[in-house]
Each structure stands twice: as C-alpha cells, then as structure tokens.
Structure 1
Amino acid sequence: MTEYTPKERLARALTGQPVDRMPAVSVTQTGTVEQMEACSAFWPEANSDAEIMAKLAEAGHTIVGFEAVRVPFDITAEAEFFGCEIKDGTKEQQPSVVGHVVSSVEDIGKLKGYSLDHGRIGVVCEAIKILADKYGDELPVMGSMIGPFSLAQHINGDDWFMAIFTDEAFGLALMEFTTDFCVAYAEKMVESGADTMVIIDPTASAQLIGAEFYEKFVVPFHKRIVDAMHEVNVPVVLHICGDTTQGLKLMESSGVDGISVDQNVDVATAVGSVEKAVIVGNLDPVNMLWNQAPEAIKEQSQKVLDAGVGLLAPGCGIVSKTPTENLQAMVEMAKNHKY
C-alpha cells in the first residue's frame, strides 16, 4: 500500500479512504508543562502571542511525536473577543470565563460589526499561518474553536440552559449570532492555512439538554459550520464532553467527519452507532494519560484499538502535567496500528 504523508493520511482517514496505517494525532489541546520547558514556550504567554503559541504547538510534533500541529490550547478566546471577563491562566492552568455580556436580544445587536483581526482570534490565525508556512506541505494544521452552543453559554452565562427552554426566540437569535461568528472564524483559520477543523462544544450534549432541544439548538448550527468547511475541502471533527452515547446519531447528522468521544463512552458501542463518522478517542486524560505508566497506557490503547476506534487519541484535553513519555506511548500504539 502507498505510504502517505501525515497530511494525506489524516485527510484520508477522516474521509473514509484507505490509508497505510493510523494517524497519530490529538484533536484536543496538546500543551503540557514538559513540552513548555523543553521548547521554552510557556502558558499563559502561549495563549496570546502568535510566535510562542506556534512554538508550543510545534512541540507536540517535535517532542511528543504527534503527526499534526494544533492551536489554540484553550476555549476562552472567543468569549474574550466579545468582552466576557476572563480569569487568567497560569503555566499549568488554562484561562476560564467568569463574566458574561448578553442577557437580551438587544445585547446581541451590540456585539455585531466585529473584526476578526483583533484580539486573540487574530493571534490564533497568525499562529496558524506560522505553522502552515513551516509544516503545511507535510503535516495537518488543525484549527480549533469553541462550538456555537458553548460560546452562547459563555456569552450568556448559566442562564443559557434555562433560556433555551423558556425563550426560544432569544435562544435561536443567540445561536444564529454565535454560528455566524464560528463560520467566519473557521473560514479565517482556513485562509490562514488550517486544513482540519475541530469544534469543541463541551456543553452541547443531548444528554444534558435532551434530544429534542439538541436537534433544534445544535444540529442545524453545527451543520452550517460543517457545510462551510466542506465547501473548501476541510474535514471537521466534533468533540462534546461527557457520555454522548445516546446522542451520537444526532451528532453525526450535522455531517461531521469525525466524532471525538471521551472516556465515558464505550468505543465499540460508539462505532456501531454511526454510519460514516470516524470515532476518535478515548484514553482518559486524567486517570490514564496523566496518572499511569507507559505500559498501562499501551495496554489500554490496545483495548481501544481492538474496539475499533478510528483515531486513537485522548478522550478530552490533555492535562498540562501529563508526562511526555505517556503521550509517546499512545503515539507509538497509533503509529503501529494498521486498519
């Protein structure tokens, strides 16, 4: 069989085409303290400086062995862009959203007319350009962003979950707004050099809001992003946290190419629940990748591979204190696996 470049291999794997072996990638965040120390690119600076961001993203490839480069490392840049208050991150901890800016349809109107060149959105796109210029001919360059449902929650706060049940007009208006932004942001990342898109929408769970509301407030909006990416031949992976088993068919109905599942999902069940989507995951980032030894990680990796996973990867974002040798054990298992 033909031996593919990492870029060709991932693109083919995500679109159901034959490949020589499994790609070794992480679709969720890749930054760790050991990588930071090895390449002298640290959080929190790596979240807001394009050169440092690209340098740490590169370490995922040069130090860990991932066959892709991916930015950013957190999911707060989008909310910060719209004026939400952010709790600063540290060398070991990612930033978080602590203040919100929208409580009415009128508030949504005040956020329109933005420029994607500003703030950390612009920084992420510049980091993608740096990585694409250096690696784009051979390695996949992954752009990642928070999904529109979770961005709506960041902008509106915890009232968001009640809003979709009690004020449909407001809920749909905010979803239209966040989705318009997500499409524009994704397109800008692709223009900057991204060739693979990851949507991280942690709270957009059918288990959390129910299938009826997921179908109304999530599926059509994810589909708009996916359709926009497919128009420029960019595959899309969707990650939603928690036990998404019951919602996998709905997740797939948006047209995504890959579905990243966390450690609460049985991989064999997930594989049997979808028609075309590639199942990605699902090594426990805490109890396995952070806290176990390489041999235990290899053993668990083999179980996930035997269950039929399409791409072996962490079940969620990698914990910053995860040892490099543990990630390398997972990478080795992926590289040695032939479908």
Structure 2
Amino acid sequence: MGKDLILKTLRHEKVDEVAWVPFSGVHAGFLKGFTAREVLTDGDKLFDSLMEVHKLYTPDGMPVIFDLQIEAEILGCELLWAEDNPPSVMTHPFAGELKVPCKCKIPKITDGRIPMVVDVMKRLKAAVGDDTALYGLICGPVTLASHIRGSEFFMDIIMYPEYVKELVGFCVEVCNAMSEYYIDAGMDIIALVDPLISQISPKSIEALFLEPFQAAFDFIRNKGALSSFFVCGDATVQMDVMCRTNPDGISVDENVNLVDAKKITDKYNITIEGNIPLTTTMLFGNQQDNMKFIVDMLDNIDHHNLIVSPGCDMPYYVPIDNTVATVQAIKQTDSVRKMIENYEAVDENIQIDLPDYENLDKPFIEIFTLDSATCAACTYMVKGIMLAKDEFGDKVDIEEYKYTNKNDIARVKKMGVEHLPSTYINGKLQWSSIIPGKQELLEVVGKYL
C-alpha cells in the first residue's frame, strides 16, 4: 500500500519502489471547480476535492490542506484572499514594536479555521487513511514569526537576536499545539513548512533556530508521528544545518539540485522529497515534459530515502493530464522511458527586449520571484525591496517578474537568473535568495541615484 511505502521511506527502510506525494493544495479545488478560497474555508468542498485528488492521482501520501496563513490569521494577521491562490498575509500585529504574543494567544482547537481542518482530517482518515499516508502541514516557526513581525524580522535577526529567540520560541509552542491537534486527528506526517529558512544564513540558523526546530521535531516524534522540514527557494547552503534539526524528511523545490542535496541528506540518513518544477514543467509543460523530468530524475539519483513530489504547492491551473503523466512515469518508469526516448522539449523562444541598463534615467530594481502571491519568501523579498519606493519615491522604478508567467520565465532565462527570489539593480545581481535589511537596501540603492 502507498501508506506503508511512505512510512517505510521516512523511516529509512528498504523499499522496492519510489513513493509519490502530490502537494495539491488549492489545485485540489480546481479539480472540482471550486475556487481557492472555497476549498480553504468550506470543509465539504475541501473534502470532496481531496477525494478527487485521491481518485485521479493515486497518491501514496497527500496533504490535507496547504495554507501557511491559518495560524497567522488566528494571531491577528489580516489576509488578502485570491480565487486561484492561497491567501497572503497583509498586516503584521507586532510591526513596529518588539513584543511577543502572550501564551494565552496560542491557538486553541476551537480557534479560526482549525475546527474545519481537523474535521476534514478525521473524515479523510476514515475514507482513505488505511492506504494513504496523510500529511498535516503547519506554518513553520520562522515564517510564522515573520508573519507576526513583518519584514522588520530580518533586521531583528541582526539587531535583536534575543528578541528573535523569544518570538520564535513562542512560534514553536504554536507549532507544537497545531501538531498535537493534527496528530490526534489522524495525521501520519507533520510537515513544518518554513519557506523563509532559505533567506537566512546558516550561521544565523545555527545560532538562533537550530534548537527550536529540534524541539519541534522532537515533539512530533514523541507524539508518535513522522516529520518533514519543508523549505522553498534556494536552500542549498542551508541543507546541512536543516539536517541537524533532526526531521525524518526534508522537502525542497526546484531551486535546489536534488542530486547534490541528497548527498547531504544521505549523510544524516534523512529522506529527501521533491522537486518537480511547478511552472515550467507542471503548469506550462506537456505530458512528455513531465514524463521526461521524472525519468531523468529517477535515472540520476539513488532511490533510497527518496519521495517524489512537486517542489511546493501545485499551481491552481496545472493540467490534470500533466499530473497523471507524472504518476505514470513514477510508477511505470521503464515503459515510460521507452515512450519518450526520442522526445525533445520544444523551446517557445519568446523574444524579450531588455532595457539599456547603462543609460537609464533612474535606478531600475527588478525582483524575480516564483510568485509573491503564493511564495512567502518571495512575499517578504518584495515587501522588503518596496521600502526603497517608500524612501525614494519616483526616483526609482521597481518591477516584479513572476515565474508563473511565460514572458517572465523567458526574461529569467535571458537575464541568467539562477535562484529565486533574486533582486537586480540596473541589470546587476544584488541579492540572491537573501532579503536585505532596510539600511543595507537604502545604502545600495542610494549608490545608483
């Protein structure tokens, strides 16, 4: 059964095939004609959508809900809702003040959307839990801290490390409470989804966050569940310290070279999960593109301690046929390899005209993101960079290019952007997968004025 395959893989036991987990998120709603908001707020629609995922994509494991704002909403963050994306955090209750929420603010099982989520978890457990491993996804403590504090959190890491420790300590208690609710509801794996880890230096992670994450994963283990550390963005240099937080698995997206990353996770005997490209392959590719990616991946990587999954939450409009092709390539790799042995992907060759960067009237700041509407790391990169607009006004131009847009993908390729999110000024890379503090940002931009 798929469930046993997932559990054995995360327990580092020998298995005969590679496990498959579709991080279907709001895409589950697309399968039934529901909007993202409907599927994240209506338990019946969420359950119906998840059953459709189970029927169409025959997963070995699957998440119940992919929304990193559930905890933030309860803690006082206002959300901006979308029809084809999860909501994003718009306000931060402790922006401008170095405070930590009191312990009475730790979410109760009756708060916010938790009752709806727990109910769906129990229903899905009863329906498919015997043959499918179920994932409970929780907003990780560092990303949750940034939701509470806002973009100032990244300067806090440098200026007020003791405050950061206290704030993240509170967020770990939130994670533990959520873990307990979800495990009691039948979840087999708890994933701490912390996309902002890729934006923080390994040295800072080790000094400030190593022990809190270890405590969170220990809590999950002591409750009898397995764990996964889910990161987005280019977390290549963070992989070693992430492994030392002692999760059972680590999930990465397409910014990370999976073969190289697996050499690190193997050293610590940790399972790695990933990392089918969300847009270029799943959303904009065809069935052969998806098959070829999977076959090439499986032909070039050791299958022990490996789970194949999308790099992150699947885009809402991913064609059903593309995901079905992915499943076929994972489960029938030999026959699919023969099907695509002569296939070559067609480059659309979209023409992109770049500005004359040497002769601009004013600094041009370009932010290349996966999509600031869905990627927390990208959201805070954009918010951080927009501080330059607040300071300099019309003296600077700022533009975001999203990897969910074909023209923007072509621009990324022409610019030679290697990692997302990244920020360029007048065509020159300034910050790659790192969110600058306000003072650094203004000093750098000021040099271009």
Q: Does 2:309 correspond to 1:329?
A: no
- For 1:225, the aligned partner's letter is A
What's the CA shift string for 1:213-256, capped at 9, x where partnerless?
A: 11123222221121111113311111111111111111111111
| Contact kept? 1:313, 1:330, Cα under 8 Å | no
1:281 maps to 274
Q: Does 2:158 correspond to 1:165?
A: yes
CA distance in 1: counterparts of 2:274 and 2:30, whole angstroms: 27
- Seen in structure 2, the aligned counterparts of structure 1 residues 67 and 114 have a Cα distance that, compared at 3 Å, is closer
| Contact kept? 2:229, 2:250, Cα under 8 Å | yes
**Paired-residue identity, %:** 25
- Among 88, 93, 103, the alignment partner of 2:85 is 93
- Among 232, 236, 258, the alignment partner of 1:241 is 232
Q: Identify which of structures 1 and 2 has the higher relative contact order when contacts are C-alpha pairs closer than 8 Å and 6+ apart.
A: 1
1:292 maps to 285
CA distance in 1: counterparts of 2:308 and 2:134, whole angstroms: 18
State the aligned residue count: 328
Q: Report the aligned-residue RMSD.
A: 1.9
1:302 maps to 295
CA distance in 2: counterparts of 1:241 and 1:113, whole angstroms: 25
What's the CA shift string for 1:35-71, capped at 9, x where partnerless?
A: 5354354421211122222222222211222233322
1:203 maps to 196
- Seen in structure 2, the aligned counterparts of structure 1 residues 292 and 113 have a Cα distance that, compared at 3 Å, is closer
Q: Does 2:21 correspond to 1:30?
A: no
Could you list the runs of 5+ residues in structure 2 that have no partner in the other structure? 335-449
* 1:29 CA drift (Å): 4.1
CA distance in 2: counterparts of 1:211 and 1:20, whole angstroms: 35
* 1:30 CA drift (Å): 3.5
| Contact kept? 1:223, 1:254, Cα under 8 Å | yes
Residue aligned with 1:203, SS: helix
* 1:269 CA drift (Å): 0.6
2:386 maps to none
* 1:142 CA drift (Å): 1.0
CA distance in 1: counterparts of 2:153 and 2:55, whole angstroms: 41
What's the CA shift string for 1:150-191, capped at 9, x where partnerless?
A: 000011110110111111221111101100010110111000
* 1:21 CA drift (Å): 1.3
Q: Does 2:26 correspond to 1:7?
A: no
- For 1:255, the aligned partner's letter is N
- Seen in structure 2, the aligned counterparts of structure 1 residues 254 and 29 have a Cα distance that, compared at 3 Å, is farther
* 1:273 CA drift (Å): 1.5
- Seen in structure 2, the aligned counterparts of structure 1 residues 173 and 318 have a Cα distance that, compared at 3 Å, is same
CA distance in 1: counterparts of 2:228 and 2:70, whole angstroms: 19
- Among 125, 134, 139, the alignment partner of 2:118 is 125
CA distance in 1: counterparts of 2:33 and 2:276, whole angstroms: 27
- Seen in structure 2, the aligned counterparts of structure 1 residues 292 and 74 have a Cα distance that, compared at 3 Å, is same
